Structure 1
Amino acid sequence: MTLSPLLDAPLILQLHVAAAIPAILIGPFVLFRKRVDRWHKRLGYTWVVAMAALAIFGLFIQSHGGLWGHFGPLHGFSILTLWSLWTGIAHARAGRIHAHRATFQGLWYGGIGGAGLMQFLPGRTINQMVFGGPSELGYVVIGLGVCGFAALWYQQHGPAFGKTA
């Protein structure tokens, strides 16, 4: 593992990663802890700010082979993240706690899980940091990550498919 690909990357990418670190670390504590107390609220605000910064910085990262100028498919995660943050906060303020929890947990699975795992695609900076250069082993990390997130989802929600009302 080497930090040189990140240190050699543009400043906007470094800021994006710096915002991702607290979002990754704080998210599970805030989103999956059963007890809702002042720590939930304080750390929740911190997580929202980290996710917003992550999304905003992500919008300014140049995409190679972008579909619309410098915008590529991963930029959609930034827009979805900002919308989800707004919606999740609105749900909490309106007292719709179940919708608030579902929105933010979905954002964590999709934003941190989905978009985060895509950073292990060969050629991406995180892939190069972890493996010392572009590596096909990123696909193994993605596969294991998908299995891990699926297991966590199943533990939290049980079997969601095939249920009848």
Structure 2
Amino acid sequence: MSLQLLLDAPLAVQFHVLTVVPAAILGAFIFLRPKGTAIHRLLGKIWVSLMVATSISTFFIHELRVFYGFSPIHLLSVFTIYGCLQSVYFARRGDIRRHMRIMQSVYLGGIVIAGGFTFVSGRIMHQIAFGDGKAGFAAVFAGILVVAFLFLTVLKQRRRTA
């Protein structure tokens, strides 16, 4: 594992990683903490800011050029920004169920699924995490599915106890 590839990456990629890693950790922490407290609101504001910054940074990253320099990941970025804004709106309005559902979806789509695809062979994060070894796409995809399944299981258990 070498971070030199990240240090040599374009500034947009460095900024993206600098915002998404704390967002992933902070988001998981927020899901495990009590809701509605002052600290939840503060950490939530920080998390939303990180997610919006992360999503905006993707529009300056063009590794996968599917459609005029953009890829389906960029569409996910639009949904992430929209979801964050909608979630804040619903929280302020008092519709906590909608707020919670949207935040869970944003975390799952924007962190777990999109993050999992960064570890596909040939991408910078794959090379940083696995070096020169080539993990197959099926293995990476299976890992994404396992993480997503665990995430959903934890959320389902938390709903039952709430």
TM-score between both structures, scaled by the size of structure 2? 0.89
Post-superposition CA distance 1:18-45 (Å, at most 9, x none): 0101101100122342343111011101
2:136 counterpart of 1:133? no
Question: What is the rounded CA distance, in whole Å, between the counterparts of 1:50 and 1:37 in structure 2?
Answer: 20
| 3-state SS, counterpart of residue 74 of structure 1 | helix
Preserved CA contact (<8 Å) 2:120 2:140: no
Q: Which residue of 2 aligns with 1:64?
A: 64
Distance 1:38 1:147, change over 3 A: same
Aligned partners of 1:84 and 1:14: how far apart in 2? 24
Identify which range, 32-41 or 122-131, moves more after superposition: 32-41
Runs of 4+ in 1 over 6 A off after TM superposition: none
Partner residue, 2:105: 106
Is the Cα contact below 8 Å between 1:62 and 1:70 reproduced in 2? yes
Q: Assess, with a 3 A threshold, how the Cα gap between structure 1 residues 134 and 9 changes in structure 2: closer, same or farther.
A: farther
Alignment check: 8 A CA contact 1:121 1:139 kept: no
Structure number with higher helix proportion: 2
| Counterparts of 1:74 and 1:108, CA distance in 2 | 14
3-state SS of the aligned residue for 2:85? helix
Residue 156 of structure 1: how far off its partner (Å): 2.0
| Shift in CA distance, 6/138, structure 1 to aligned 2, threshold 3 Å | farther
Query: 1:5 Cα shift?
Result: 1.4
The aligned amino acid for 1:9 is A
Counterpart-to-counterpart distance in 2, 1:77 and 1:48: 15
Q: Which residue of 2 aligns with 1:119?
A: 118
Structure 1 residue ranges without an equivalent (≥5): 159-165
Quick one: distance in 1 between partners of 2:133 and 2:59?
A: 24
Secondary structure of 2:155's aligned partner: helix
Asked whether the 8 Å contact 2:27–2:107 carries over to 1, the reply is yes
Report what 2:152 is aligned to: 153
Matches within 5 A, 1:1-165: 1-67=1-67, 69-133=68-132, 135-137=134-136, 139-157=138-156
Structure 2: 5+ residue runs without aligned partners?
A: 158-162
Report the TM-score, using the length of structure 1 for normalisation.
Answer: 0.88
What amino acid sits opposite 1:5 in the alignment?
A: L
Cα distance between partner residues in 1 of 2:75 and 2:154: 28
Give the length in aligned residue pairs.
157
Moved more, 136-145 or 49-58: 136-145
